[in-house]
Amino acid sequence: MIKVENLTVSFENNIILNNVTLDIDAGETMVIFGKNGSGKSVLLKAIAGLIQDYKGIIKINGIDIKQLHNKKALKNYDFNTAYVFQKGGLFDSMNVFENVAFPLRRKGITGDDIPETVMCSLKRVGLSGSEQKLPSELSGGMQKRVGLARAICVDPDIILYDDPTAGLDPILSDSIADVINQIKSHNKTASMIATHDLKIAKKIAEKAALLYKGEMVFSGSVYDFFNGDNVYAKQFIEAKLEGPIDIF
Ligand SMILES: Nc1ncnc2c1ncn2[C@@H]1O[C@H](COP(=O)(O)OP(=O)(O)OP(=O)(O)O)[C@@H](O)[C@H]1O
Ligand SMILES: [Mg+2]
């Protein structure tokens, strides 16, 4: 479903991702770990088509997404892939209802289908009754859940979650993990999740990858990440100062 081969992304001579390769099937979830600034968001954005200047190949359903970087094709591609922004990414001037309805309207859906789908998505993230609120009236955690509702309302095949539980209390984080698991089993989505949340990762992912200095220094099963002998993984999990990962 998602296939990335030798992906290299640079900004002004700074190599952010260096020959990154990964593979995710339908119904599978990969968690992406890495220090702040290690390129997790850049990786997700490249797969979402939001960063188009890269070397290597990104294929979705066997199609090289470079072919889809023209406007007409992107319209279809766009809505197969949902991107849940790290910072919510909501439109400040639109209420919750309109924020969630936005991708449906862009897709050309009209009429009763819109309120039905919006309400259903908001219910799944525990936000029924918040339709008329503006983003500025919501807590950070609620904004994140609106972002999640907006992503799931278009029934995507692929969901890229950028730090979906950051800033949420442990109980809410756990409930977001439940929603992510429900989406996965219901829609057979291929998902990628950039996170620092080790507990949530164990709960929702089968595959794990660790980025460091642009490279994937671990790629394998979540079980091996937590129980294997990869020195980078061990240092990351145990949050040790000593090891191959520099602190700064
Ligand atoms: N559009 C851009 N232009 C220039 N540099 C960028 C751009 N986007 C990201 N970067 C740089 O790429 C590096 C990786 O950033 P990225 O946001 O992917 O990190 P991250 O792993 O998601 O970090 P965090 O855990 O804090 O979310 C950073 O050094 C960042 O400054
Ligand atoms: Mg990030």
* Angle in degrees, 0-180, between the axes of helices 140-152 and 170-187, rounded to the nearest 10: 0
Which ligand is nearest to the Cα of residue 52, counting in written order?
1
**pLDDT in the model for residue 199:** 92
pLDDT of 31? 98
pLDDT in tens, 81-109: 888 887 778 999 999 999 999 989 988 88
- Do 28 and 136 belong to one domain? no
Identify which of 22, 71, 65 has the alpha carbon closest to the alpha carbon of residue 205: 22
CA of 124 to the centre of ligand 1 (A): 31
Query: 151 and 229: one domain?
Result: no
- How far is residue 68's CA from residue 88's CA, in Å, rounded to a whole number? 25
For residue 17, give the 3-state DSSP assignment.
strand
User: Roughly what angle, to the nearest 10 degrees, separates helices 113-124 and 140-152?
Assistant: 130
Q: Are residues 25 and 134 in the same domain?
A: no
- Quote the pLDDT of residue 89: 85
Structure tokens at 183: 């989406």
Residues in the chain where the model's pLDDT stays below 50? 79
Pair 17, 93 in one domain: no
Strand intervals (E) in the chain? 2-11, 14-24, 29-34, 55-60, 63-64, 81-84, 158-162, 190-194, 207-212, 215-221
Residues 6+ apart with CB under 8 A from 230: 210, 217, 218, 220, 224
**CA 38 to ligand 1 centroid distance, Å:** 7
Residues listed for the chain: 248
Cα–ligand 2 centroid distance for 212 (angstroms): 13
CATH code, domain with 245: 3.40.50.300
- Please tell me the distance between residue 38's alpha carbon and the centre of ligand 2 in angstroms: 8
Q: Give the residue from 132, 155, 178 where a domain finishes.
A: 155
DSSP reduced 3-state for 208: strand
Count of the separate structural domains present in the chain: 2
The residue from 155, 184, 205 where one domain ends is 155
Q: How many CA atoms lie within 13 A of 123 on its CB side?
A: 6
Same domain, 234 and 167: yes
Last residue within a domain, chosen from 155, 181, 209? 155
Q: Using CA positions, which residue lies closest to atom 26 of ligand 1? A: 36
Model pTM score = 0.90
Same domain, 173 and 244: yes
Closest to 201 measured CA to CA, from 231, 228, 219, 180: 180
Residue 90 near residue 146 (C-beta atoms within 8 A): yes
Q: Residues with Cβ < 8 Å from 223, sequence gap 6 or more?
A: none
Looking at ligand 1, which atom is closest to the CA of residue 38? Answer: 21
Cβ within 8 Å of residue 78, ≥6 positions away: 49
**Alpha-carbon gap, residue 68 to 87, rounded angstroms:** 26
Quick one: pLDDT at residue 243?
A: 85
pLDDT computed for residue 188 by the predictor: 84
Q: Kindly give the distance from the C-alpha atom of residue 42 to the centroid of ligand 1, in angstroms, as a whole number.
A: 6
My answer on whether 127 and 228 are in the same domain is no
What is the residue range of 206's domain? Answer: 1-80+158-248
Residues with CB under 6 A from ligand 1: 11, 16, 34, 36-42, 86, 163, 194
Question: Rounded CA gap, 206 and 188, in Å?
Answer: 14
The whole-number pLDDT of residue 114 equals 95
Residues 163, 150: one domain? no
- Name the residue at shortest CA distance from atom 5 of ligand 1: 11
